[in-house]
């Protein structure tokens, strides 16, 4: 297993500073955020598409620090019913094209989420009642989600990309094993999982069981932890809409590796991945509001060094 990072984890650093710090931390590979919900602090998507010399210089700098490029990331909502959806779709296609040009086999993203009939905004249906909930879900999947993803898979395959790694995330059509497999069965094996255990943690699923269920459908892994806060969660449950900055009030928080689940749990997670056939990148995603990015990255790398299996 290789230790990597999505570059937004050190988004406050310049490209050159981020590379230097990544090398100093002992990272082996990087996942570059290319736009949509990221400001893409370390890559100019249009310049990279337009210029071979820009791409060559970019890759040379990454390799010059002893690093490789594991994936490109374009997480956003191309299924948004408003103008944002069309823009996110454009960035998604550009990212896939760039990955194909650069010989990068994986694009990390999310499934997106449409609205229901006539909605101006996405509508995340996670209950079967009242009765209209099931009708809205049927409309979303049959009319929006599956047709869009059939077309995107064809576009990706034509660009030479055969691994679209979907993060199972809240407020997305694909948010758990069942919904990933539903989409994968409809559009084919180009769609796989970017498995990030921090999301099922707050949804009360078991990432260790989910990894075994996904098996070869795991194409990539984000290393991020969640801590469920017992008192707020005991009062309100884990459906949480308070802003991340209000971490003292929330029922759960994204947290630096080891501060939600200890080293023993992360050993079990790496073992589950290995048993499922995954022996590839653990890409750290730092989103801990209580710890600085650099401190969080140092602690996360230290933990993964102790638990990763067959670390090269």
Classify residue 49: in a domain, yes or no.
Answer: yes
Number of domains in the chain: 1
Q: What is the pLDDT of residue 310?
A: 73
Three-state SS for 162?
coil
- Has residue 127 been placed in a domain? yes
Q: What CATH number has the domain bearing residue 185?
A: 3.20.20.150
- Residue 278 domain boundaries: 2-307
Closest CA to 251 of 211, 180, 203: 203
Determine the pLDDT at residue 110: 98
The alpha helices in 140-262, defined as continuous H runs, are 146-158, 177-187, 198-202, 207-214, 230-236
Q: Say what the pLDDT of residue 24 is.
A: 98
Report yes or no on 312 lying in a domain. Answer: no
Cα 62 from Cα 19, distance rounded (Å)? 7
Question: Are the C-beta atoms of residues 226 and 253 closer than 8 Å to each other?
Answer: yes
Residue with tokens 């010059």: 64
Predicted local distance difference test score (pLDDT) of residue 309: 87
Angstrom distances, CA of residue 8 to CA of 14, 29, 68, 208, 297 = 11, 14, 16, 26, 12
pLDDT at residue 194, as a whole number? 98
Q: Model pTM?
A: 0.97
From the CB of residue 160, how many other CB atoms can be counted at a distance below 10 Å? Answer: 14
| Tens digit of each residue's pLDDT, the chain (312 residues) | 999 999 999 999 999 999 999 999 999 999 999 999 999 999 999 999 999 999 999 999 999 999 999 999 999 999 999 999 999 999 999 999 999 999 999 999 999 999 999 999 999 999 999 999 999 999 999 999 999 999 999 999 999 999 999 999 999 999 999 999 999 999 999 999 999 999 999 999 999 999 999 999 999 999 999 999 999 999 999 999 999 999 999 999 999 999 999 999 999 999 999 999 999 999 999 999 999 999 999 999 999 999 998 744
- Specify the pLDDT at position 40: 98
**Domain assignment of residue 215, yes or no:** yes
């Amino acid at each position: 297993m290789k230790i990597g990072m999505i570059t937004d984890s050190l988004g406050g650093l310049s490209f050159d500073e981020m590379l230097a710090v990544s090398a100093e931390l002992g990272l082996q590979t990087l996942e570059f955020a290319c736009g949509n919900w990221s400001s893409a602090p370390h890559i100019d998507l249009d310049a990279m598409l337009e210029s071979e010399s820009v791409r060559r210089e970019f890759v040379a700098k990454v390799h010059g620090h002893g690093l490789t490029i594991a994936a490109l990331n374009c997480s956003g909502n191309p299924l948004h019913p408003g103008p944002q959806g069309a823009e996110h779709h454009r960035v998604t296609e550009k990212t896939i094209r760039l990955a194909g040009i650069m010989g990068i086999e994986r694009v990390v993203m999310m499934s997106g989420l449409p609205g229901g009939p006539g909605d101006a905004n996405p509508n995340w249906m996670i209950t079967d009642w009242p009765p209209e909930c099931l009708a809205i879900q049927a409309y979303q999947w049959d009319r929006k989600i599956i047709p869009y993803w059939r077309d995107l898979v064809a576009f990706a395959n034509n660009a030479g990309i055969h691994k679209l790694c979907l993060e199972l995330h809240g407020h997305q059509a694909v948010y758990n094993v069942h919904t990933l497999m539903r989409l994968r069965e409809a559009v084919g094996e180009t769609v796989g999982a970017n498995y990030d255990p921090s999301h099922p943690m707050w949804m009360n699923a078991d990432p260790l069981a989910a990894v075994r269920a996904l098996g070869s459908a795991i194409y990539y892994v984000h290393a991020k932890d969640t801590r469920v806060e017992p008192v707020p969660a005991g009062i309100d449950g884990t459906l949480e809409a308070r802003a991340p900055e209000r971490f003292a009030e929330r029922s759960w928080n994204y947290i630096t590796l080891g501060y939600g689940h200890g080293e023993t749990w992360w050993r079990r997670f790496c073992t589950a991945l290995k048993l499922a056939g995954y022996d590839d990148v653990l890409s750290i995603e730092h989103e801990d509001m209580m710890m600085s990015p650099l401190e969080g990255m140092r602690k996360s790398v230290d933990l993964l060094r102790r638990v990763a299996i067959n670390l090269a």
